[in-house]
Every structure is written in C-alpha cells, then in structure tokens.
C-alpha cells in the first residue's frame, strides 16, 4: 500500500536575549533533554532542530536559531531575524539588567522583521532560572512588560530543572 507523507511544516524560531540568560541551555534542554553547566558562549548563531508531533499524522519542524547575545543592535541581527515565524525573548530572573534589555530585544525584532502579512513576529517572554533564589525581578513587572509590549505570553522557566520548557514552546 502507498504511504502518504504527512504534511510537515518548517518554522523558524529565534531565541534571543542577553548573554548568559540561558538561551543555549534552554535549547539543549528542549531538543536533547540535557543540561550541562557550561556551554561555550555562542558565537554568531547555533542551530538546532526539533520535530514536534502534533497528532498521529501531523508533525512540525522547528528550526531554532540560538543567537549570541552580543549581537544586539548590530546589522547582523537583521540577517538572523529574516523570515522567522516565532521568537523567544529570554531574560534571567536573577539579573535585572537582562530584564530591562528584553524590551530592547523586542524593539529590535519589531523594527527589523515582520511576518509576510506585515504583522509582528509572535514573541514569547521567558523568565529563566526560576530555580534560583535572589530574584531581581518581580512578577508584576513581568506581567506589565508582557501586556504593554504585545508579547503573546510569558512564563517562568528553568532550563536547569526542565521547568516549563516544553510547555512554553508549545
Ligand atoms: P546563553 O549565553 O544565554 O546561551 O546562556 P547559557 O545557556 O550559556 O547559560 C549561561 C549560564 O547560566 C550557564 O552557567 C548555565 O549553566 C546557567 N543556566 C542556564 N539556564 C539556567 C537555569 O535555568 N537555572 C540555573 N540555575 N542556571 C542556568
Ligand atoms: Mg549561548
């Protein structure tokens, strides 16, 4: 009998945020379900592929672009953002500055990239390292940023403990 190929779509998702917030750890947790304490600082961009099974017959491929945090405001980000379908903006709950900079990342994406229909790239806001004590950002502030700047959602995550990693990407 003939097997019909399942419809499969490829989506490009960019992962951005300041250096050391946990982007590479998050991608590794999501794709490999692994965690190492030290990843070499990403240079430029790393790629990972995640196949998501929606149902018996439907899968989607997510091409994840793990972009080095130093790149913000350089001409390179425009190249990296091009043709993306979704975006994750990550900060570290124990690093206030990384939270403040989330807005700069959002503005950078919005100013350089749109979906084909002209609407902004859907952006999730992820508050990583929720396993740690000594937070420098409280939930009210995150809620406010999320609402006022048109993120599609936000949640706390821990790449280390594997908290809300799959759920946030869903
Ligand atoms: P990137 O520069 O944003 O890619 O950050 P990395 O993934 O390289 O992580 C930077 C540091 O933060 C590393 O020492 C990681 O082990 C640590 N880290 C990443 N995610 C978490 C987390 O969820 N919890 C804790 N406690 N540490 C994390
Ligand atoms: Mg990295």
Distance of alpha carbon 50 from alpha carbon 106, whole angstroms:
24
Cβ–ligand 1 distance for 12 under 6 Å, the answer: no
Cβ–ligand 1 distance for 131 under 6 Å, the answer: yes
The predicted pLDDT at position 167 comes to: 96
Closest alpha carbon to 17 in 111, 117, 92, 110: 92
Half-sphere exposure of 58 (CA within 13 A, CB side): 3
Length of the chain: 170
What is the mean predicted confidence (pLDDT) over 74-98? 93
Most confident of 13-22, 39-48, 67-76: 13-22
Q: Confidence band (pLDDT; 50, 70, 90) for 4? A: low
Q: Which two tokens stand for residue 167?
A: 């759920």
Which ligand is closest in space to the CA of residue 128? 1
What is the mean predicted confidence (pLDDT) over 67-95? 86
Q: Which two tokens stand for residue 120?
A: 């902004």
Protein residues with C-beta less than 5 angstroms from the ion ligand 2: 24, 42
17-26, 73-82, 116-125: which has the minimum mean pLDDT? 73-82
Compute, in angstroms, the gap from residue 37 CA to the centroid of ligand 1.
Answer: 7
Compute, in angstroms, the gap from residue 16 CA to the centroid of ligand 2.
Answer: 9
Radius of gyration of the chain (CA): 16
- What is the pTM assigned to this prediction? 0.92
User: Which residue blocks in the chain are alpha helix, DSSP H?
Assistant: 23-32, 76-81, 96-112, 139-148, 165-169
* Closest atom of ligand 1 relative to the 66 alpha carbon: 4
């Amino acid at each position: 009998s003939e097997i019909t190929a399942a419809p499969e779509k490829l989506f490009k998702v960019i992962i951005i945020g300041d250096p050391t917030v946990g982007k590479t750890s998050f991608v590794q947790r999501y794709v490999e379900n692994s965690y190492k304490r030290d990843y070499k600082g990403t240079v430029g961009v790393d790629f990972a592929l995640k196949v998501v099974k929606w149902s018996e017959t439907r899968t989607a491929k997510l091409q994840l672009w793990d972009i080095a945090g130093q790149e913000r405001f350089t001409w390179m980000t425009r190249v990296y953002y091009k043709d993306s379908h979704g975006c994750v903006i990550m900060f570290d709950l124990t690093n206030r500055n990384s939270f403040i900079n989330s807005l700069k990342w959002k503005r950078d994406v919005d100013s350089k990239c749109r979906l084909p229909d002209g609407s902004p790239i859907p952006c999730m806001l992820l508050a990583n390292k929720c396993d740690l004590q000594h937070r420098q950002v409280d939930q009210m502030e995150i809620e406010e940023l999320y609402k006022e700047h048109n993120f599609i959602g936000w949640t706390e995550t821990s790449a280390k403990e594997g908290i809300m990693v799959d759920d946030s990407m869903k």
